[in-house]
Amino acid sequence: MSAPRGRPEPARRVAVPGVSGYVDRIGVRPGQTVRFAVNAPAAYDFSIVQLGRRALLDPAADEQADRADVTLLSSRQHATATPQTLAAGSYVFVGGEPLPRGPLTLATWLRLWRLPVIDAIQWAWFGILTDLDYPEACRFGLLVDHLGRVGAYAGDGGLFRHEWLHLTEPVLAQRLGRWVHLAASIAEAGVRILVDGRIAYTAPGPIPLSEPGPAARLRIGASAEQGAADDFLDGDLAGPLVAATTLDDPAIARLAGDRGRSAVTALGLGPLHAAWPLDEERGARVRDVSGHGRHGRIVQGGTWQIGGPAHDASRGTPGYDPTADPDRGHGLRLSSDDLVDAEWTLTDEWTVPEEADSGLYAGRIQLAGQDPASATPIVFAVVRTRPRRPDSVALLLATNTWYAYGRRPTDWHRLAGLSASYYSVHLSGRPFFHVPTLAPIPRADPYGFESRRAAHTRHSHLVRPERYAEAWLAAEGYPFEVITDTDLHAEPELLANFRALVIVGHSEYWTDAARDGVDAFLRQGGRVLSLSGNTLCWRATFNDDLTVLECRKTVQGDDPRWLSPREWGERWHSDDGRPGGLFTLVGRPGYEVLGLDTQGMVDDGTPTDFGAFTVLRPDHFLFHEPEPVPITPRGTIGETSLNGAKASGYEFDAAPDAVGLRDDPLPGLVVLASALGQRNIEWHGRERNHGADIAFWERPNGGWVFNAGSIGLTGALAVDPGIRQLVRNVLFHFGVPRSAR
C-alpha cells in the first residue's frame, strides 16, 4: 500500500458513495489550467460549460431550461468509473529513529470528547501514543477503548495478543470533555497505569519488550492497522512524552500536578526518548525537545490554539491576551474527521482560453444513460483581475461562504471528512474551525435551491444570487469582470483597476486583507455597491497556500455548533494568532466599511417571509437621476424577485443604529428605503420586525457606498422595475458606462 501525494504513510481509506467532484482552484484566469477530481461510480461524460444567462432571468423558464442554457466548451468520454476514496482523520506522524528496546513511560494530558464506537467489530480503540500496526507488528501503545478503559499494550513487536493488553476500569467514560493525565510505564518487571497521578492498574512481570522492526513507527493520536494509519483520536492532547525509563510515582505526580504550565525539561524526569510541548500553535510541524530529533508532522489538519489543562477557556473575552496568560498552556485537538485535502486523483483538466469571458462555469458529470438535467455540476469561475474594458466593475463572488456552508450534511448523507462546515460539528461534537478548498462543495449548486422547503419560493443563497447579478449586468451591457473572495484576499489592491466593486449574494465570511482592501479602495475615492445580506459578518483567515479557510464562530448564547462564552478562549486563529468571531466582537464592524450590518434572518420557504422596501427618501437624487425610479402606489420597490417572493429576504442588513450597534445614525448615511415590519426569526437589532435597509453613504473618510442589504436583492434586478432602475441610477453616478443592447 502506497501513500498518496503529500502523505508520509498510507492511511485507512473509505469509499465515497454517489457522484461528486471538486476543482483545484475555485477561480481560474485565462491561460491557466483548472483541474478536476471526479468521483463517479460508472462511465460518464465530463463536459465544461459556461453557465447560461437568458433562462435564469426569464420568470417563465423552469430549472430544466436553465440547465439546458449553457455554452458547451469541451467534452470527454470516460469509458469506466473513476471511484475515489477518502482518508479523513488527523494525527501526528513522528519521524526520527524508532524507539529502542527497553523500559519506557508513555504520558500525556488528554481531553477526550467521545468514546470510540464499535460497529461490526466488538472492540474499538483510539490510539493515543502508539507503536502498533495491528495485528502483525505490535510493540507498545497507550490507548482508550469504547468502554472508556485506558489501555497499555506491551508486546514483542509481533502479532497482537490480548494477554499483553492491560486495561483499567472504565475511568474515562464519565470524564468526557475534562482534562485527565494519563501515564503508562512498561518494563520487564511490570506495567503500571496512572490516571491523574494515581495508580489505576498494575500488572507484574515478566513483560515482553521488543526491538524495533521494519514496521516500527511512533504515532500520536492514532495507531495503524494492516499497514495504514487508523484508530484516530477524537480528543485534545497536551504535553505528550515518552520517557526512557519507568518514571516513579512522584515524577508522574509532578507531571499531573503541573497541569502543563512548565517546560517538561524543568520537571526532573530524567532521560527522554521524545517530548512535544505542542507550543507551535500553527502549521503542521511538531517539534521534539528531547534532542533525539523525533519531530512530528500533523496529517490532515488538527486544531491549534485551544489551551492546555490549566486554561480557563471562559477568559477569552475582548482584551484577553493568550500570550500573557501563564495558565493557558498549549493543546492540540485531533479529530477522526479532520480533512484538509481529499487527496483525490485528478481525472480531467481544461485550459481556459485567453479570450474566455469572465464569469461562472461548471464541469458537468453525466453518468452513462443519465438524463442530462440530472448531471452533477462542479462550479468554478473564470476570473480577471485586470479588466478588458475601461470603467469596469469587479463582481465579487462570495466563495468563502460557499465553502462555509457547502458541505452541511443532509439527513441522509454524512461522510466523515466531507461534512465539514461552519454549520455542522465534528463527530466529537466540537465545532468545525476549518473547511478545506480541496474537497467537494455539493451545496454550491448553480441550479439548486437551499433546501426542499426553499424550492417553494425558488430561493437560494449560494451561487444562484451571484448568477442573477452576472446575468443582469451582461444583459444590461455593463462592463464587468468576476473575482472571488480568494482573489480579493490575495491581491486586495486589484480593486484599483476597477471603477467600482459589486458585492453580491451571501458575502458573510471575510478576511482582514479583503476588508482592509475594500476600505482602502473607498478611501481613495472608490465606489462600492453591496447587493448582499449578512455581509462582512465573520472574521476568517486563510492558511499560507490558500487551501484551508479558518473561522472560529463565537456567539453570546449557548449553541453547540459554535463557541459559547464559556469556550471563548478557543477563538484565537491558528493562521495568525488573532481573535476570531464576529467583526463587531473584534472591534472592526462591517458597517465601518459598508454602512450597514447584519440585522437578522427569516425562514426561506414561505412567500410571506419576504418583504418589499418602503421608500423613505423619495426626494433623493438616486430616485430621479438620470431616470425616475418607478415606485408603487403603496410607496414601495422590490415587490417582485426571482430569488424569493420579494427583494428583502432570507438574511439582511440594516443601518447600525437600527441594528443596535450605535445609538446615533452613522454620519453621512442616508437610509433610502427599509423593509418595514418584516419579521425575523433571528435578529441582532433593537427591533424584531425590521428587514433590510437600502442606504447611500458618502463616507467622511472617502468613497461612496450604495448598500441594499439583502441576499434576495439580485433576484429582483431583472423583474422589479423599482430595484432595476435604482441600481441603474447608482451605476450611472458611479461612472460605470452602459453599452447599447
Q: What is the pLDDT of residues 557-596, one digit of tens each?
A: 888 889 999 999 999 999 999 999 999 999 999 999 999 9
Is the pLDDT higher at 410 or at 220?
A: 220
Cβ burial, residue 502 (10 Å; 0-12/13-18/19+): buried
User: Which DSSP string do the residues of 310-358 spell out, in sequence order?
Assistant: T--GGG-STT--GGG-TT----EEE-TT--S---PPP-EEEEPPTTPPS
CATH of domain 463-536+596-733: 3.40.50
Using pLDDT thresholds of 50, 70 and 90, give the confidence band for residue 604.
confident
Using the predicted structure, report yes or no on whether residue 411 has a pLDDT greater than 60.
Answer: no
Residue 4's pLDDT is: 63
Provide the pairing of β-strand 359-367 with 376-382.
antiparallel
Can you give the residue ranges of every domain in the chain?
1-85+340-382, 91-334, 463-536+596-733
Neighbours of 72 (CB within 10 A): 10
Residue 122's pLDDT is: 85
Residue 276's pLDDT is: 98
Mean pLDDT of 27-48: 98
Looking at residue 98, the DSSP 8-state letter turns out to be: P
**Dist CA 30 CA 37 (whole Å):** 20
Q: Do 241 and 264 meet the contact criterion of CB atoms below 8 Å apart?
A: yes
Could you tell me what percent of the chain has a pLDDT over 70? 98
**Dist CA 393 CA 268 (whole Å):** 65
Residue 408's pLDDT is: 87
692-741: pLDDT as tens digits: 999 999 999 999 999 999 999 999 999 999 999 999 999 999 999 998 65
**Dist CA 467 CA 578 (whole Å):** 34
Whether domain 1-85+340-382 has CATH 2.60.40.1930: yes
Residue 311's pLDDT is: 97
Using the predicted structure, report yes or no on whether residue 3 has a pLDDT greater than 80.
Answer: no
Residue 741's pLDDT is: 57
Mean pLDDT of 29-36: 98
Nearest to 87 by CA among 301, 278, 377, 285: 301
Using pLDDT thresholds of 50, 70 and 90, give the confidence band for residue 1.
low
Residue 605's pLDDT is: 80
Whether the bond between 492 and the residue before it is cis, its omega within 30 degrees of 0, is no
119-168: pLDDT as tens digits: 877 899 999 999 999 999 999 999 999 999 999 999 999 999 999 999 99
**Three-state helix/strand/coil letters over 545-581:** CCCEEECCCECCCCCCCCECHHHHHHCECCCCCCECC
Mean pLDDT of 361-373: 95
Using the predicted structure, report yes or no on whether residue 21 has a pLDDT greater than 90.
Answer: yes
Nearest to 432 by CA among 420, 444, 449: 420
Longest CA–CA separation in the chain, Å: 94
- Bridge partners (DSSP) of residue 381 are 27, 360
Using the predicted structure, report yes or no on whether residue 412 has a pLDDT greater than 60.
Answer: no
CATH of domain 91-334: 2.60.120.200
Nearest to 498 by CA among 522, 531, 515: 522
Q: How many residues are there in the chain? A: 741
Using the predicted structure, report yes or no on whether residue 610 has a pLDDT greater than 60.
Answer: yes
Backbone angles phi, psi at 130, to 5 degrees: -145, 150
Could you tell me what percent of the chain has a pLDDT over 90? 91
677-699: buried (b, 16+ CB within 10 Å) or exposed (e) per residue?
ebebeebbbeeeebbbbbbbbeb
- For the chain, what is the mean pLDDT? 95
Using the predicted structure, report yes or no on whether residue 173 has a pLDDT greater than 60.
Answer: yes
- Angstrom CA distances, 8 to 91, 440, 529, 546, 570, stand at 12, 24, 48, 22, 29
**Dist CA 95 CA 238 (whole Å):** 19
Using the predicted structure, report yes or no on whether residue 380 has a pLDDT greater than 80.
Answer: yes
List all residues 6 or more positions away from 713 whose beta carbon is below 8 Å from its beta carbon.
Answer: 465, 531, 532, 533, 638, 641, 647, 648, 692, 723
Looking at residue 262, the DSSP 8-state letter turns out to be: S
Mean pLDDT of 171-187: 98
Residue 449's pLDDT is: 84
Residue 2's pLDDT is: 57
Using pLDDT thresholds of 50, 70 and 90, give the confidence band for residue 265.
confident
Q: Do 435 and 404 meet the contact criterion of CB atoms below 8 Å apart?
A: yes
Provide the pairing of β-strand 500-505 with 393-397.
parallel
Mean pLDDT of 240-250: 97
* Sign of the dihedral defined by the CA atoms of residues 108, 111, 113, 115, in that order: positive
Distance of CA 338 to the CA centre of its chain: 11
Alpha-helix runs per DSSP H in 425-504: 464-476, 485-490
627-681: pLDDT as tens digits: 999 999 999 999 999 999 999 999 999 999 999 999 999 999 999 999 999 988 8
Cβ burial, residue 356 (10 Å; 0-12/13-18/19+): middle
